[in-house]
Amino acid sequence: MPTMIVIGYRDDLDQAVRRRGLDPHYIVQTPVSSLKGRKFTCVTDMENAQEIFRAVLSAGIGEVSGVLTVHEMGVFGAAYLRQQLSLPGNTDSKTVLYFRDKYLQKSNLSPEVKRARCRYVAKDTSFAELADELGDAFVVKPATGAGSLRTSIVRSPQEYSEALKVLPDQSDVEVVAESFIDAPEIFADGIWSNGDLQWYSVSRYHSSPVSAAQGGILACHLLDKRRHPALFQQARTLVGQVLGGLGAPDCVFHLEAFAEETGLTFGECAIRLPGGLSPQANKLTFGVDLFDAEISLALGEAPPATPGDSPPDRLYGYVLLRRSGSGTLTQKDFERSFLLDDIKYSSSPDAPPGPYGSVGHAMVSDQDELQLQKKVEEVVRFNEVG
C-alpha cells in the first residue's frame, strides 16, 4: 500500500486518506492517543524543514505517493519534501512563503486589494512608533502564526509589552503589527485550480478567532448566496485578486476578510485545508469534499468535479465546545436542550483540549440561514452559561 506522508494529525483527514487506499505516515510534534496503531515520527519543530526531512529519510518509508499537511505550520515543509523526493503537488517553497508570512503576503498584493497596514516589529520598535504608523489600536502577532494564537489587540504601552512577552526570541522578521479593523469576519473556503477559482463557499464567524483564541468559543455558519449576492461577488473577486495575484498553486484554500460597510477588507489567506469542522460543513451543505480534493492534489491529480451554483437544501454551522464555566455540563445536557446534527462533548476534567480550547463540537443545520445563525448562537450561549 503506497504511503502518504502527512504533517500533523487530525482524525477526519486520517479517515479520508485511508478511504483512498493510502497508508499515512505522520510527522507530529506531540503524539496523541489517536495515533495508537498509526505510523508516526516525532519532531521538535513542525516548521523546521531540515528536521522534517531527516525524520522522513530515517523512517524507512517505502513507496511514497505524496505529501500533505493538516495545518498551516506544515505547508512549507510539505513543499520542500515534494521538491526533494520528486513528488507531485506544489514544490515552490518561495510562493508558499507569500501564503505564510503576513507581511510578505500583504505587501505583495496589488493596490486595489483593500487590507490592513502591516509591518515587521524589530526588537527596538516602540509602541509610539507603531501607534503613529498604524493607529491608536493595532494587532501584534507572529508573522507566520496560525489560528490567532499569540495574537493580541494592543491599545497601550503596557498591552504592547504584554503582547511581546508571549513572542520570545524575537527576530526582525518574526513578529508583525497590523492596523486594527473593527468589523465582522467572514471566510471563504474553496478550491483553486489552473490559475482560477473552481469552487468556493462563504461562512461567517460568530465572534473573531482572536477572541476564541483568548478564551471565547469559536463558532461559524455557512451563508446563503441568495441572501448575500453582493457579498459573494465581493468574495469571489477578492479570492481571484489574492490567489491569482500571488501566483497560488493548485490548492484548497482558506481566506479570511472583514465585512465593512464599504466592502471586504482582506485579512489573510492560507493554501491548506480549513480548520475546525468547515470541511464537514461544506460536504454536508454542498457535497464538496475538501479532504478528497486535498488528497487528489497531493497525488498530482486534478481535484474532483464540483457542483454548479444551485442553492443547497440545508446550511450547516458548528461550534467548538469548551468546558462550561460551572464545569457541570455533559453531552446529555446538550442533547436534551437542542436538536443537533452531531455532538461530541467530554465533561471529564482530564480531557485534553483541542484547537481553541475545545473539548468537543456541535453541528447544527437549517433550511434558513437566519434560523441557523440563531441555533449557533443559542448553543454558544448554553456552552457559556449552562
* Tens digit of each residue's pLDDT (9 = 90 or more) over 353-366: 888 889 999 999 99
C-alpha distances in Å from residue 242, one per residue of 13, 118, 195, 254, 304 = 27, 16, 11, 11, 23
**Which residue segment(s) compose the domain that 145 sits in?**
117-179
Rounded CA separation 5/155 (Å): 43
Answer yes or no: are the C-beta atoms of 376 and 206 closer than 8 Å.
Answer: yes
Rounded CA separation 334/386 (Å): 9
Range of lowest pLDDT (125-134, 137-146, 183-192): 137-146
Q: Are residues 197 and 69 in the same domain?
A: no
Q: Are residues 156 and 192 in the same domain?
A: no
- Tell me, what's the pLDDT at 356? 87
Once rounded to an integer, what is the mean pLDDT over residues 151-162?
Answer: 94
Which residue type is seen at 125? T
Q: Are residues 337 and 255 in the same domain?
A: yes
Q: Answer whether residue 40 is part of any domain.
A: yes
Q: Last residue of some domain: 45, 64, 97? A: 97
Q: Are residues 196 and 344 in the same domain?
A: yes
- Tell me, what's the pLDDT at 288? 98
pTM, 2 dp: 0.95
Longest dimension (CA), the chain: 59
The yes-or-no verdict on residue 294 having pLDDT over 80 is: yes
Answer yes or no: are the C-beta atoms of 36 and 53 closer than 8 Å.
Answer: no
Q: Answer whether residue 102 is part of any domain.
A: no
Q: Answer whether residue 360 is part of any domain.
A: yes
Q: Are residues 250 and 357 in the same domain?
A: yes
Supply the CATH number for residue 156's domain. Answer: 3.30.1490.20
Q: pLDDT grade, residue 259 (50/70/90)?
A: very high
The yes-or-no verdict on residue 326 having pLDDT over 80 is: no
Rounded CA separation 180/183 (Å): 9
Once rounded to an integer, what is the mean pLDDT over residues 141-155?
Answer: 88
Q: Are residues 174 and 89 in the same domain?
A: no
Q: Are residues 233 and 363 in the same domain?
A: yes
Supply the CATH number for residue 190's domain. Answer: 3.30.470.20
Answer yes or no: are the C-beta atoms of 95 and 248 closer than 8 Å.
Answer: yes
% of the chain at pLDDT higher than 90: 85
What's the pLDDT tens digit per position in 197-230? Answer: 999 999 999 988 888 878 899 999 999 999 999 9
Provide the pairing of β-strand 23-28 with 39-42: parallel
Which residue type is seen at 116? A
Answer yes or no: are the C-beta atoms of 40 and 9 closer than 8 Å.
Answer: yes
Which residue type is seen at 250? D
The yes-or-no verdict on residue 249 having pLDDT over 90 is: yes
Answer yes or no: are the C-beta atoms of 218 and 356 closer than 8 Å.
Answer: yes
Q: Answer whether residue 104 is part of any domain.
A: no
Q: Answer whether residue 107 is part of any domain.
A: no
Q: Last residue of some domain: 159, 179, 199? A: 179
Question: Which helix (H) or strand (E) is 75 found in, with range?
Answer: helix 75-85
- Tell me, what's the pLDDT at 361? 97
Q: Answer whether residue 108 is part of any domain.
A: no
Rounded CA separation 126/250 (Å): 40
More confident residue, 355 or 253: 253
How many domains are there within the chain? 3
- Tell me, what's the pLDDT at 201? 98
Nearest alpha carbon to residue 78 among 107, 99, 106, 102: 99
The yes-or-no verdict on residue 147 having pLDDT over 80 is: no
**194's grid cell:** 489552473
